């Protein structure tokens, strides 16, 4: 008789077990539910043109089909032909959905729901047969998809300074603010309002009615080009107005108009802008819950190349009520408010101010030469002369590394090369650009140099924009090129850096379709109005970092639309490192109601919030939150499953041991002799 040794038997059993697991594992890998990454590598990656081709340019972003994926509007090189490209998530490309031709040369395009239908229309500003005038045309959206190009609406014209969208009367319908050719020229009645009077059920197809703007104070001649913005500047979560004016002597001034709801706008501040001021951008640069200004100044600008010489970067910090240092602080000292509590951020500060004087004693204004950031050059591209008329190029702001502080994009000029650059916001320290020599200051700046080879390899950039491709929670970069290098006009840079931080995306809709669903006029189509954000929404939030320090931040929604501003309809803000929910998220709209904002507590990071305000006093706003699974979700799932299996095995083994002990105990009891019974 042959006897097999136990060790050999165990080896055979282990081999059979391994083969069995392999048989199950191979088909399991084939149905792995998590998609393969499009890009690998911890750097900025060249993603190519992503389906965009031709010699045109992207002129606007918008969710034209309401699927919560960002689409693009492309204008051809003839400055007349439009084409909408919808984002295809499965194929990771933009797909052309059709084109049409505007009869005149286009200067600017503003997507917006002007007809309050829950879909984006197109407001086109184009060349006029009359000098010093802009023709305005609206292409309404069609019930299915696309625009009604057969029946466009002709609107009252504007002067050359492009009008901006603004909600003047608090009904969440898009009005326009600008100057008409028939303005009287009086210092109190220069500004005109294109009042939105659209009524879809009326036989009158009039969209706008011209009237004097409800502004109380001396008005100025709006500059062309300008950096006008609709954004909250006094901290009450209600959008105010920043205007750039022409002083008539070759310089520029500014005006800040405060929104007082039904009482109109009143002039709060005005003053001169530094000599050589270019386009102004707006963001909470130092994360104190207030909106600041950042802009370049140049001693001269070439009309041929658009390059500014001897340029500086200027930052004007908003001096306003700070966040209270303690959650138990009431914010009041002898009846006077000195700070804002975390649960009451939307309190107006009538004493806010910007001090733009370049004085060493003025710590609220920072100025440093471009050459300190880019040692090889002191020139910035501030005008895109490949477009006619030339377009201003502002510093593009966005939180690229999710640390809660906005970074910026700029194009430097060296000889015939236009090179795009990413600049990070960093804490102040000795030797950091933008800080004092001793390292004091609010924030400093550092040029990104590691992993940015794909970005800096471009030598013919003409504009830059932040955009979140495929809604994956990182800010990527759209580089528009002049095509000199034969690489095409479009290039997307995938931000593939790993950041140990969180983000939040949010969008306030325009109040169309109160119940969250819209219906076409004939009732054949039902859809969500997810694509119809508007200028003027405000976000303020507080968050705790991993050390327990509380900070506040403010973000505006689509504050600028003129001169191809190319801002996304949603807001995107990094939260930094946190192990908690967002404590308070205040969302403000331009409603003229007693409470024009709401406070959302405990919002989950790495999500998108969609808010539909109600125009009815006292009625709750509709809120929806969409979670985005992170890249770590598959590994968390695997860890949980493996952990459950291990715990199950432990429980099963303990159960067998307990059962064996019970059996042994039963046997001992059965063999026990009761001597008392004998």
pLDDT band at 628 (very low <50, low <70, confident <90, very high): confident
User: What's the residue count for the chain?
Assistant: 678
pLDDT at residue 55 tops 70:
yes
According to DSSP, the residues that pair with 392 across neighbouring strands are 383
Structure confidence at residue 423 (pLDDT): 98
Return the sign of the alpha-carbon dihedral for residues 563, 301, 396, 364: negative
Listed in sequence order, the residues at least 6 apart from 178 whose beta carbon sits closer than 8 Å to its beta carbon are: 158, 159, 161, 162, 163, 164, 191, 192, 194, 222
pLDDT at residue 198 tops 50:
yes
Any idea which architecture 46-508 has in CATH? 7 Propeller (2.130)
pLDDT at residue 22 tops 50:
no
Tell me how far apart the alpha carbons of residues 391 and 227 are, in angstroms, rounded to a whole number: 12
Structure confidence at residue 19 (pLDDT): 42
Structure confidence at residue 5 (pLDDT): 45
pLDDT at residue 515 tops 90:
no
Using DSSP's 3-state secondary structure scheme, residue 246 falls into strand
Lowest mean pLDDT among 68-72, 303-307, 578-582: 578-582
Tell me how far apart the alpha carbons of residues 569 and 168 are, in angstroms, rounded to a whole number: 19
Give the pLDDT mean for 563-574. 95
Q: Is 139 exposed, middle or buried (0-12, 13-18, 19+ CB in 10 A)?
A: buried
Structure confidence at residue 630 (pLDDT): 61
Where would I find the beta strands (DSSP E) of 449-581? 461-467, 476-481, 490-495, 502-508, 518-519, 526-527, 538-544, 550-556, 571-576
* 401 token code pair: 């590394």
pLDDT at residue 591 tops 80:
yes
pLDDT at residue 18 tops 60:
no
Buried b vs exposed e over 310-333: b needs ≥16 C-beta within 10 Å?
Answer: ebbbbbbbbbbbebbeeeeeebee
* 332 token code pair: 């009041």
User: What pTM, to 2 d.p., does this model score?
Assistant: 0.89
pLDDT band at 29 (very low <50, low <70, confident <90, very high): very low
Lowest mean pLDDT among 23-32, 165-174, 668-677: 23-32
Which residue would you say has higher pLDDT here, 315 or 9? 315
pLDDT at residue 202 tops 80:
no
Torsion of CA 341, 537, 565, 220, to 10 degrees: -90
Q: Where are the domains of the chain?
A: 46-508
Structure confidence at residue 629 (pLDDT): 64
Q: Is 351 exposed, middle or buried (0-12, 13-18, 19+ CB in 10 A)?
A: exposed
Q: By C-alpha distance, which of 67, 75, 65, 58 is closest to 470? A: 67
DSSP classification of residue 433? B
Side by side, the strands of the sheet bearing 134-139 are 106-112, 121-127, 134-139, 153-158
Structure confidence at residue 678 (pLDDT): 52
The H-or-E segment that residue 665 falls in is helix 633-670
Using DSSP's 3-state secondary structure scheme, residue 27 falls into helix
pLDDT exceeding 70 applies to what percent of the chain? 92
Tell me how far apart the alpha carbons of residues 203 and 205 are, in angstroms, rounded to a whole number: 6
Structure confidence at residue 28 (pLDDT): 40
According to DSSP, the residues that pair with 481 across neighbouring strands are 461
């Amino acid at each position: 008789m042959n006897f097999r040794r136990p060790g050999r038997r165990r080896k055979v059993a282990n081999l059979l077990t391994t083969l069995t697991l392999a048989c199950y594992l191979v088909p399991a890998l084939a149905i792995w539910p998590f998609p393969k990454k499009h890009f690998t590598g911890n750097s900025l990656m060249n993603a190519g043109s992503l389906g965009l081709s031709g010699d045109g340019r992207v002129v606007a972003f918008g969710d034209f089909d309401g699927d919560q994926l960002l689409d693009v509007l492309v204008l051809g090189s003839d400055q007349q032909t439009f084409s909408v490209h919808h984002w295809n998530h499965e194929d990771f490309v933009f797909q052309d959905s059709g084109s049409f031709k505007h009869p005149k040369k286009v200067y600017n395009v503003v997507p917006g729901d002007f007809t309050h239908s829950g879909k984006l229309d197109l407001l086109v500003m184009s060349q006029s047969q009359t000098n010093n005038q802009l023709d305005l045309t609206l292409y309404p959206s069609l019930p299915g998809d696309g625009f009604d190009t057969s029946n466009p609406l002709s609107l009252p014209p504007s002067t050359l300074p492009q009008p901006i969208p603004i909600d003047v009367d608090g009904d969440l319908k898009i009005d326009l603010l600008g100057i008409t050719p028939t303005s009287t020229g009086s210092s109190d009645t220069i500004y005109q309002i294109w009042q939105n009077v659209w009524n879809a059920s009326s036989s009158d197809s009039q969209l706008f009615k011209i009237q004097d703007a409800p502004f109380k104070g001396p008005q100025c001649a709006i500059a062309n080009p300008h950096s006008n913005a609709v954004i909250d500047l006094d901290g009450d979560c209600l959008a105010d107005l920043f205007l750039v004016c022409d002083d008539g002597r070759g310089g520029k001034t500014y005006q800040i108009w405060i929104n007082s709801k039904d009482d109109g706008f009143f002039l709060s501040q005005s003053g001169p802008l530094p000599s050589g001021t270019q386009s102004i951008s707006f963001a909470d640069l130092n994360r104190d819950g207030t909106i600041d200004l950042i802009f370049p100044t140049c001693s001269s600008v070439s009309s041929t190349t658009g390059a500014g010489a001897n340029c500086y970067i200027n930052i004007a910090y908003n001096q306003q009520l700070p966040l209270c240092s303690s959650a138990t602080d009431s914010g009041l000292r002898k009846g006077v408010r000195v700070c804002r509590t975390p649960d009451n951020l939307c309190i107006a500060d009538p004493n806010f101010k910007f001090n733009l004087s370049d004085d060493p004693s003025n710590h609220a204004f920072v100025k440093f030469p471009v050459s300190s950031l880019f040692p090889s050059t002191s020139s910035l591209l501030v005008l895109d002369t490949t477009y006619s008329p030339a377009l201003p190029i502002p510093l593009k702001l966005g939180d690229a590394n999710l640390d809660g502080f906005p970074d910026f994009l700029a194009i430097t000029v060296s000889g015939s090369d236009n090179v795009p650059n990413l600049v990070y916001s960093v804490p102040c320290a000795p030797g950091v650009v933008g800080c004092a020599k001793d390292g004091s200051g609010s924030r400093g700046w550092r040029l990104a140099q590691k992993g940015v080879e794909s970005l800096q390899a471009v030598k013919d950039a003409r504009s830059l924009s932040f955009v979140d491709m495929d809604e994956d929670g990182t800010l990527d970069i759209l580089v528009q090129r002049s095509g000199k290098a034969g690489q095409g006009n479009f290039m997307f840079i995938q931000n593939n850096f790993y950041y140990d931080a969180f983000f939040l995306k949010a969008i306030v809709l325009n109040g169309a379709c109160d119940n969250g669903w819209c219906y076409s006029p004939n009732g054949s189509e039902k859809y969500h109005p997810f694509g119809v954000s508007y200028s003027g929404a405000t976000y303020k939030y507080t968050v705790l970092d991993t050390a327990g320090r509380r900070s506040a931040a403010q973000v505006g929604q689509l504050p600028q639309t003129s001169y191809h501003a190319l801002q996304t309809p949603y807001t995107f803000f990094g939260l930094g490192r946190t192990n908690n929910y967002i404590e308070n998220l205040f969302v403000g709209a331009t409603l003229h109601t007693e409470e024009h904002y709401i406070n959302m507590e405990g919002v989950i990071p790495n999500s998108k919030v969609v808010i539909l305000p109600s125009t009815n006093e006292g009625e709750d706003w509709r809120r929806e939150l969409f979670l985005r699974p992170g890249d770590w979700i598959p590994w968390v799932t695997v860890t949980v499953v493996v952990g459950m299996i291990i715990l199950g095995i432990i429980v099963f083994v303990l159960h067998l041991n307990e059962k064996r002990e019970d059996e042994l105990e039963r046997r001992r009891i059965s063999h026990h002799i009761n001597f008392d019974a004998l």
